Amino acid sequence: MIDVNKLQFSCKNFGGQFPGIRLIATAAVHGDETCGTKAILRLMQELDSGTFAIQRGSVTFVPVTNPLAYAKGERTGERNLNRNLFPNADPQDFEDRVANWLCPLLAQHDVLLDLHSFNAASEPFVMVGPRNNDGPLEPFKHEQQERALAKRLGVRRFVDGWLRTYGDGVQRRMSGSNELQTVLRYGMGTTEYMRSVGGYALTLECGQHNDPQAPEVAYRAILNTLAFLGMIDAPEPEPVAPEQMEALSMVAVYDKQHADDTFSRNWSSFDPVRQGEEIGRRADGTPVLAEFDGRILFPDASAEANSEWYYLTRPNPAF
């Protein structure tokens, strides 16, 4: 039995002699996603031993962001830390207490690299933020810097459009409800919070949870970030070649309307779909067909009724 009261939050900061970017790298926001933890611990050891040094700016490492979920070896402690991430004057669960520690820490930095992994076998990818805008949902002004960094993490697949698409689904489900803004906040995770306090941020999905290469993907991404931001004495990494890139935009979210809605096959993120292809069936037998050619993202066979079931993406040649 885990004694929650004995859990504590931990980070380590390395600072250079000269001014520069303030970077923060986080891992184990979800407790069963440990590749980033392994990469961060390796880098901390190398910095401590003098293998390389931070020369400009500073980097803060958080190897275990959610210690309860990590101790359990599960995705969550008491709820999903990567949703509704805001300081809370009246914390109701463990993740609220994490947020009260983590959010001020994020606000002290300029850039966040958040390291994750995923369940089904697939290749690594990076989630990026919106285009520059001054709209009410996710105002942003660091598009150029964020996407330039994304192209140098060492992966070739990029996805944008999370909060906009998630918000479209929320507004559809809750049209006219006075709880709309509260539920929209539920879409806010580490990267969204970082952007809300003036920084920029990337979520790197490093591979399948148990893929032995996933910690190496995370390690390489941190080193590339340090080099690209001029924080260590290393050549600037080259961006991924345009012909190798696959850029996708999340454009639509589809809800599970009834608990007995089912997928027609065992979908994994990035499986291609063709317009008219059957994705699932409603409880009454009505087929659910793909509205356009694209790739499926975040299919959730265990989703509850009246919640997001899967997303569809389209190629984004303008990335």
> Tens digits of per-residue pLDDT, 169-188?
767 666 655 554 555 565 78
The CB density around residue 227, as the number of other CB atoms within 10 Å, is 17
Rounded mean pLDDT, 25-41: 98
Strand partners, 273: 294
Q: pLDDT by residue (tens digit) across 108-149?
A: 999 999 999 988 778 999 999 999 999 888 899 999 999 999
Q: What is the CATH number of domain 4-244?
A: 3.40.630.10
Q: Where are the domains of the chain?
A: 4-244, 248-315
- Bridge partner residues of 254 (DSSP): 310
CB-CB contact of 113 with 221 (8 Å): yes
* CA gap 239, 291 in Å, rounded: 33
The string of pLDDT tens digits covering residues 285-319 is 999 999 999 999 988 888 888 878 999 999 998 88
| CATH code at 248-315 | 2.40.50.100
Summarize pLDDT for 266-292 with one digit per residue, the tens: 999 899 999 999 999 999 999 999 999
d(CA 196, CA 117) in angstroms, rounded, equals 24
Helix 214-228 / helix 35-49 crossing angle, nearest 10 deg = 50
Assess whether pLDDT exceeds 80 at residue 189: yes
- 53-93 tens-digit pLDDT: 999 999 999 999 999 999 999 999 999 899 889 999 999 99
Crossing angle (nearest 10°) for helices 214-228 and 143-150:
130
154 Cβ contact list (under 8 Å, min separation 6): 217, 220, 221, 224, 237, 240
The predicted model scores a pTM of 0.92
Quick one: pLDDT at residue 69?
97
